[in-house]
């Protein structure tokens, strides 16, 4: 039996070229916790977490590693369940589950490498690519020229669907930006908007969404916190615009609850928060049961391997933040970020998740 012999963590802190306004916050760095698992058979699997400066590595080193080392590396679900059972008081809390997710991803990477299969093929997919939508509009600027440049660059890559950031400036400015986006991409292309939980009150949310809904909104993402699901229902009823959230939900059970109460129309899923690979699939299956689609939260290299194996991906595709925008900086840790061809992410066919890590960069940013 192949067992877990070593677990190592690396905290990479990658600086942004300029501070980034995300809702009311100003961000200067992106932080990622990598976990490297070596098995007794000599297989090395890598997982990671979008740590947001939280002590993910410490949780893995001090809490998870002592439980996992010496146990089987052949059954990731068994390890995940064991860790969560032992730490039941934190089993559905985001910071802890993010650490569990990183370990689970690393163990699935081991599983793919052991079987010499990509994760997508391991779960029965024969797809070679997945459609994407491009996220634009993080930088407001003094006018819309920068937004138009982002849109046109995405169009040169064959991307047809978009999501745009709203809520950081006035409702009128957001409406203007939506008008520009719709004009640039045509009437049939799908547009989603991301409010970053900044709308605060139902009255403000209704005002803002009513100003932009004429531009054909597929969904408004994160108008409120996930814990404020009833407000999302009221927003939908008041505006007729679908709502979406879920990227911070820390288990498939939490996802099933918001689906049961019809608090989301498009379930946002992040495998690096929800608990890992199996929890991602379980949550996606729950969405399918309720007739809902799912949309992913960045991490295109990872999520492409998972959504290739599900039938209910949002019709606009999988979320993609182009490295050229330097918003999500994960590509600085890779040798080759995922390829985009004709508006689709091309799946790696390499065993496991197919990441080609730049260890010189990882060590540099982990100092």
Cα 357 to chain center, whole Å? 19
SS3 content of the chain, % helix, strand, coil (to 5): 45, 25, 35
| CATH superfamily for domain 122-346 | Enolase-like C-terminal domain (3.20.20.120)
Q: What is the CA radius of gyration of the chain?
A: 20
Task: Reply yes or no on domain 4-116+359-365 having CATH 3.30.1300.10.
Answer: no
Predicted pLDDT at 367: 78
Under DSSP, is residue 228 helix (H, G, I), strand (E, B) or coil? helix
342: alpha, beta or left, given left = phi > 0 and alpha = psi -120 to 50? left
How many angstroms separate the CA atoms of 243 and 224, rounded? Answer: 10
**pLDDT by residue, tens only, the chain of 367 residues:** 899 999 999 999 999 988 877 666 678 899 999 999 999 999 999 999 999 889 999 999 999 999 999 999 999 999 999 999 999 888 888 899 999 999 999 999 999 999 999 999 999 999 999 999 999 998 888 899 999 999 999 999 999 999 999 988 899 999 999 999 999 999 999 999 999 998 989 999 999 999 999 999 999 999 999 899 999 999 999 999 999 999 999 999 999 999 999 999 999 999 999 999 999 999 999 999 999 999 999 999 999 999 999 999 999 999 999 999 999 999 999 999 999 999 999 999 999 999 999 999 999 999 7
Q: What residue spans in the chain does CATH classification 3.30.390.10 cover?
A: 4-116+359-365
pLDDT of residue 47: 98
Record the pTM.
0.96
Measured CA to CA, the distance from residue 148 to residue 280 in angstroms comes to 34
The closest of 139, 195, 162, 193 to 16, measured between CA atoms, is: 139
Spell out the alpha helix ranges (H) of the chain.
56-59, 65-68, 76-86, 94-115, 119-122, 145-156, 171-185, 202-212, 229-239, 252-260, 271-274, 277-289, 300-307, 359-365
What is the pLDDT at residue 24? Answer: 61
DSSP summary character for residue 338: P
Pinpoint the residues of the chain covered by CATH 3.20.20.120: 122-346
């Amino acid at each position: 039996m192949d067992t877990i012999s070593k677990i190592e963590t690396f905290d990479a802190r990658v600086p942004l070229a300029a501070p980034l306004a995300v809702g009311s916050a100003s961000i200067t760095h992106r932080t990622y916790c990598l976990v490297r698992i070596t098995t007794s058979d000599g297989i090395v699997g890598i997982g990671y977490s979008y740590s947001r400066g939280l002590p993910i590595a410490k949780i893995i080193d001090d809490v998870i590693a002592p439980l996992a080392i010496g146990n089987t590396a052949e059954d990731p679900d068994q390890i995940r369940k064991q860790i969560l059972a032992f730490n039941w008081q934190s089993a559905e809390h985001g910071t802890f589950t993010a650490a569990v997710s990183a370990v689970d991803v690393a163990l699935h990477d081991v599983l793919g490498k052991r079987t010499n299969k990509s994760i997508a093929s391991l779960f029965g997919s024969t797809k070679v690519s997945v459609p994407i939508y491009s996220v634009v509009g993080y930088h407001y600027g003094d006018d819309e020229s920068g937004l138009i440049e982002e849109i046109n660059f995405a169009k040169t890559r064959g991307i047809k669907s978009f999501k745009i950031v709203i809520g950081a400036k006035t409702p009128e400015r957001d409406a203007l930006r939506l008008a520009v986006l719709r004009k640039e991409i045509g009437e049939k292309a799908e547009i989603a908007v991301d409010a970053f939980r900044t709308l605060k009150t139902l009255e403000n949310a209704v005002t803002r969404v009513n100003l932009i809904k004429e531009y054909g909104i597929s969904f408004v993402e994160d108008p409120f916190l996930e814990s404020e699901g009833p407000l999302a229902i009221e927003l939908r009823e008041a505006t007729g615009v679908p709502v979406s959230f879920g990227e911070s939900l820390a288990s498939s059970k939490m996802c099933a609850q918001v689906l049961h109460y019809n608090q989301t129309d498009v379930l946002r899923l992040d495998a690096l928060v929800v608990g890992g690979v199996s929890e991602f699939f379980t949550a996606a299956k729950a969405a399918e049961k309720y007739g809902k689609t799912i949309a992913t939260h960045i991490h295109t290299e990872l999520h492409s391997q998972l959504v290739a194996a599900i039938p209910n991906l949002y019709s606009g595709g999988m979320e993609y933040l182009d490295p050229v925008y330097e918003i999500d900086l994960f590509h600085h840790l890779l040798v080759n970020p995922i390829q985009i061809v004709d508006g689709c992410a091309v799946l790696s066919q390499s065993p496991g998740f197919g990441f080609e890590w730049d260890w010189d960069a990882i060590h540099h940013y982990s100092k």
